[in-house]
Chain A
Amino acid sequence: MSSSDIFGVMDRRTLLALGGFAAAAAIIGPAGATDLYGPKGSGAKSGGTLNMGLLVEPPGLDPFHQAADARIRLTVLIYQGLFYESPDGTAMPLLAEGFDLSSDRLVYTIRLRKGVKFHTGQPMTAKDVAYSYNYIRDAKNGSPGAGDFAMITAIEAVDDATVKITISAPNAALPMTLGNKYGGVVPAGYFDAADAKTKLNQASVGTGPFKLSEFKPNSNATLVRNPDYWEPGVPYLDRINFVFVPNAASLLVGLRNKRIDIATLSRPQDVKQVEGVAGLVIERKPSFNQKAIDLGAELKPLDDERVRRAIALAVDKDEIMRASIGGLGNTIGTMVAGMQESWGAPLDKLPNQKVDIAAAKKLLAEAGHPDGFELTLTSIIGYDWMDAAAVTLREQLAKIGIKLAIQRVELGVWVKNFQSKQMGFTFNDWATVPDPNLLFYRHFHKAPEGADFRNWKNDAASALLDEGRVESDPAKRREIYIRYQQAMAESVPTIMLFSADHVVVRADKVKNYDQHPTGWYYGLARAWIA
């Protein structure tokens, strides 16, 4: 099924209801980008086992309660939501077929794809869809996704193939929110069993192209082809072994000696170590991730905007990028590289982007720190890029008199500080789905609507985020988010440094793997082995 087929089953009204969104995407998006999961291979062969090396082991495979990106990368192949996050920023129908939007833009009537079966063999109906989304949006069920669904007031099954979703205020990002980051459609009543939560790590109940076969800690997760999958003819692979290799040295050696067929490298510069090895193909793809410096306003003197601006003016993003990922990425302003074209503010329209030591020193003096001050930077153990970035940043800040101490903490400790809004001055590494509302709202809107992890407490910026969420006209929406980004660049709650490219290294027998900019492994639903 090609892209035209998918849109073919939608009527005109649906296309319009999708907002100018789809139309805008058609202009921005590269050719063929509207294919679900990427283009289908020509001359594809079915069968075979693919071994993929993973540096980061998913801490669990439960899409409802586990937020880790390492989990999402895999489970998008197992579980499916109503829409697919197309790389160009459109929400493409996945388990949905299309939808109607009421004139007040508050009621979505979603028609479901027919002939979809769960891994358990039972057919999917509207009841299952309503159950799954009702489960995830109720925060009492403990899903990290609950916050994204807070504006939904009701989800009901109208008939077997139709679901009605009512929201409290217009929300241009709703279809994208019904994507694959959290949750997915599972059989109604699945979570009634007491052990259902932990059981998702052993047996899958999704509708995706692959089923979970085994998940062995510190060893591997194995997926097998779902024979009842609803898209005809795909996936091509019989079996995927995700092999957990806990360090880059062994992963690279394994790639070199063909112990694994494919891997994406978390530090793109590792690619130099396998360049020129016969039989290996290396590909670079833009990404939706960002490596950032967060400035928690709870830590003095970061509560002073002038100090934050001074720090931003002293940071040479390009040097940090060269030091930490060998330059294999793009420095960014206030938008991840993969979305810069569609949603980013032009860099020349953003303040505090160019290094200006004199201006920074002046700001510090105004803020009462003419001789600088001492500051502790937190970095996370195991995030290799942070080590090189930290020592580079230390030298840069020394130029304006800030004496930087570096403390590396374990991820669990870091997350605890983050969640309790005590992050201080820290590196961060996170990714987004391609919508500005989903990128910014939860992180930067003031409490209680947003989580405002950095204690930014910025009313003007929060108002813009509210505006952007409601606006459905893409051009106006873009304008609002550009104003938001300017406010963010001016006040500096965070310094987005760069987006690291996804670097895929594969054996040349692995064909048609297209790395999705989120970093998720959608491409495996289309890959095949020659």
Chain B
Amino acid sequence: MLGLVLLAFVLVVVAFPGLFTGHSPLTVNVDKALEAPSSAHLFGTDDVGRDVLARVVHGARITLSICASALVLAAVIGGALGLFSGFVGGRIDMLLGRLVDVILSFPPIIFGVMVTGILGPKTLNLVFALTVVYVPLFFRIARSGAMSEAGMTYVEAARSLGLSQSRILLRHVVRNVLPIVLVQCMVLFPLVLQIQAALGFLGLGVQPPTPDWGAILQQGKDYILLAPWMSAFPGLAILITALALTLVGRGLQRRMDRR
């Protein structure tokens, strides 16, 4: 319940940032740099005098849409590959399995650093890097799903009825594996959020002046003794969002387990 309320709140922030702040997240005002939280600036100001609340609120949409699109992409690509691999089996399955092993044992942050280095610092490339990191997990889930489903009687039955491979795959297996993948998305979201923020923390996130929680934290960390509000609030935003998603994801999982 709490989870749903929090999630609803986060979604409202994403949809209507203007409700929460009248300040622009971009306007620089050097004379008002590093002001402590006050009634004019509830979360204080940053090193070039921008309103931290405005940056956090407007950053929600950017940060969360990056994470969400990376997850959806990873689920689609990883899921499809996993289903395919599990169903086809044999050499292809082995090869894909090994490849996924390699990616999975790669340290995700180092991987992100290299990919954004290779492709250049574009938001799209950040999404891509995050996607690649999470493809293996969805691959595995979908593959094991496909393999266990492949042995199920209904698939056998469908096959004996003469339905083609691809139709079996689509109709039955997808329908049974999809909910698992969806719940995984919710469960994984906080993790993606962490890695995204970590990349932003290393300076590899969204390009300035666009607000992004990881990037705000990165700017804030150097002012930790002077202006702790610069890093405290974006961190709290990540915490609350992750909390909401975890709670909702867990609720969904419980419902599924019961089914």
Report if A and B touch in the complex (beta carbons < 8 A). yes
- Using a CB–CB cutoff of 8 Å, the interface residues on chain A facing chain B are 247-249, 252-253, 256, 267, 269-270, 272-274, 319, 322-323, 326, 381-382, 384, 387-388, 390-392, 394-395, 405-410, 412-413
- Chain B residues lying within 8 Å of A326, measured Cβ to Cβ, are 33
B208 CB within 8 Å of chain A? yes
Q: Known contacts being A273-B226, A387-B208, is A392 close to B117, with CB within 8 Å?
A: no
Q: What residues of chain B lie closer than 8 Å to A319, measured between beta carbons?
A: 30
Cβ of B18 under 8 Å from chain A:
no
Q: Contact: A390 with B208, CB < 8 Å?
A: yes
Indicate if the CB atoms of A405 and B207 lie closer than 8 Å: yes
Do B207 and A407 touch across chains, with their CB atoms under 8 A apart?
Answer: yes
- Residues on A with C-beta less than 8 A from B33 are 322-323, 326
Cβ-neighbour of B222 out of A247, A322, A407, A410 (below 8 A): A247
Contact assessment for A413 and B225 in the assembled complex, using a CB-CB cutoff below 8 Å: no
Complex Cα spacing A311 to B129, Å: 36
Max chain B C-beta neighbours (<10 A), residue from A253, A267, A392? A392
Query: Given the complex of chains A and B, what is the CA–CA distance between A252 and B226 in angstroms?
Result: 10
Query: How far, in angstroms, from A406 to B224 measured CA to CA in the complex?
Result: 25
B108 located at the interface, meaning its Cβ lies under 8 Å from any Cβ of chain A in the complex: no
Q: How many residues of chain B are within 8 Å of chain A by beta carbon? A: 25
Given contacts A407-B207, A409-B120, contact A323 B222 (CB under 8 A): no
Q: How long is the Cα–Cα vector from A319 to B26 in the complex, in angstroms?
A: 16
- Report whether A267 and B222 are in contact in the complex, using a CB–CB cutoff of 8 Å: yes
Contacts of B157 in A (CB 8 A): none
CA A405 – CA B121 in complex, angstroms? 12
Chain B residues engaging chain A, CB cutoff 8 angstroms: 26-28, 30, 33, 47-50, 117, 120-121, 202-204, 207-209, 219, 221-226
Q: Give every chain A residue within 8 A of B202 (Cβ-Cβ).
A: 381
* A406:B222 contact, CB within 8 angstroms: no
Q: Would you call B48 and A408 a contact (CB within 8 A)?
A: no
By beta carbon, the residue of chain B nearest A380 is B203
Q: Which residue of B lies closest to A381 (CB)?
A: B203
User: Known contacts A381-B204, A388-B48: does B221 contact A406 (CB below 8 Å)?
Assistant: no
Given A247, A269, A384, A408, which contacts B207 in the complex, CB threshold below 8 Å?
Answer: A408
With CB as the reference atom, state the residue of chain B lying closest to A256.
B225
Q: Which 7 A-B pairs have the closest CB atoms?
A: A381-B203, A273-B225, A248-B222, A391-B209, A273-B226, A323-B30, A249-B224
- Neighbouring A residues of B26 by C-beta, 8 Å: 391
Distance between A8 CB and nearest chain B CB, rounded to angstroms: 48
In chain B, what residue has the closest Cβ to A386?
B208
Which chain A residues border B27 with CB–CB below 8 Å?
Answer: 395
B120 CB contacts on chain A under 8 angstroms: 407, 409
In the complex, the answer to whether B203 meets A249 with C-beta atoms within 8 Å is no
Which of B49, B221, B226 counts the most A-chain CB atoms under 10 A from its CB? B226
Q: Is the CB of A382 within 8 A of B203?
A: yes
A247 to B117, CA, bound (A): 21
Q: Is the CB of B47 within 8 A of A323?
A: yes
20 example contacts (A-B, Cβ-Cβ < 8 A) are as follows: A247-B222, A248-B222, A249-B225, A252-B224, A253-B225, A270-B222, A272-B226, A273-B225, A323-B33, A323-B49, A326-B33, A387-B219, A391-B50, A391-B209, A392-B28, A395-B27, A395-B28, A406-B209, A408-B203, A412-B117
